[in-house]
Amino acid sequence: MERVTGLSALLRHGRLVVVVVWLLVGTSAGSASAATSGPRHPVNELEHVAGCSSSADAVADATPSRELVTVTAPSTTSQRATLELFEREDGCFRLVLGPYSAWVGYNGLSAHKHEGDGTTPIGQFGFGPTMYGTLADPGVSYRYHRLLCGDWWDEQSGTGAYNHFVHVACGAKPPFGGGSEALWTEAPAYDYFAVISYNTDPVVANRGSAIFLHVSLNGPTDGCVSISESDLVQVLRALRPSLDPLIDIATHA
């Protein structure tokens, strides 16, 4: 066997060091890669779970709804609120749109609303089967009716069509009065709107009518919920009847 000495020994020793270092670095990098890739899926799962909204789950977890709009005000006297849209995914509700600044009634919120009191009703409601607007369909999944002359909402308590959409001949006087609205004239507030199914099944006299989610006029409403037109279009497009959407109107706990 050759005896290694001098420069030859150093060179060979150097090669050995390089090889050893390379092996150590390679092993360490492989371990780091394994350590990084190993828990990646669980980490993503934790992030996914972190996207769940406990507040939305508490509101609608026991319902069949897979879509939830929340309108939350600081107190019952507030005219301002926050609107958010959640969808149920993997067993919990996750935020998909918002938060958006919203306006509610000029007299705030009430669990005992009555006609003309200027409050937005507290509670959990569905949405009507038709969306409306003075402008063309913005691309919603619901049936859409573009408003035209003669389209009214009956807001006179005690009439047969109280709290319903009614069409009469253009220019004809409707057979109801009160605060009934000529919907086609209410632009830009009614450029687009969804009907909040408050006091609809059954309809109770004097309990309130025409509660909509509509375009904001940058001030409190007569009882509706309003947000900016650009935000509203996003929300209306996202709502799908197949998901049984609900809207929950409440104050902060």
Q: Report helix, strand or coil for 14.
A: helix
Domain that holds residue 23: 6-38
Q: What's the rounded Cα separation, in Å, for the pair 53 and 91?
A: 11
The answer to whether residues 194 and 212 touch, using CB atoms and an 8 Å cutoff, is: yes
Q: Are residues 108 and 34 in the same domain?
A: no
| pLDDT beyond 90 at 28 | no
Q: Is residue 46 part of a domain?
A: no
Q: Is residue 60 part of a domain?
A: yes
CA dihedral 149→155→159→163, nearest 10 degrees, is 90
Q: Residue 155's closest CA among 115, 188, 186?
A: 115
Q: What's the rounded Cα separation, in Å, for the pair 126 and 68?
A: 9
pTM above 0.85, yes or no: no
Tally of domains in the chain:
2
Q: Are residues 120 and 32 in the same domain?
A: no
Q: Are residues 17 and 134 in the same domain?
A: no
pLDDT in tens, 205-231: 999 999 999 999 999 999 999 999 999
Q: Are residues 12 and 108 in the same domain?
A: no
Q: Are residues 10 and 82 in the same domain?
A: no
Residues 199, 204, 207, 211, CA torsion sign: positive
Q: Are residues 67 and 31 in the same domain?
A: no
Q: Is residue 106 part of a domain?
A: yes
Q: Is residue 67 part of a domain?
A: yes
Kindly report the average pLDDT of the chain as a whole number: 85
| pLDDT beyond 60 at 15 | no
What local confidence, expressed as pLDDT, does residue 253 receive? Answer: 66
Q: What's the rounded Cα separation, in Å, for the pair 125 and 196?
A: 7
Residue 229 host element (H or E): helix 229-238
Q: Are residues 134 and 27 in the same domain?
A: no
The phi, psi pair for 197, rounded to 5°, reads -80, 65
| Angle in degrees, CA 54, 50, 234, rounded to 5 | 75
Q: Are residues 33 and 75 in the same domain?
A: no
Q: Are residues 13 and 125 in the same domain?
A: no
Q: Are residues 210 and 145 in the same domain?
A: yes
Q: Is residue 245 part of a domain?
A: yes
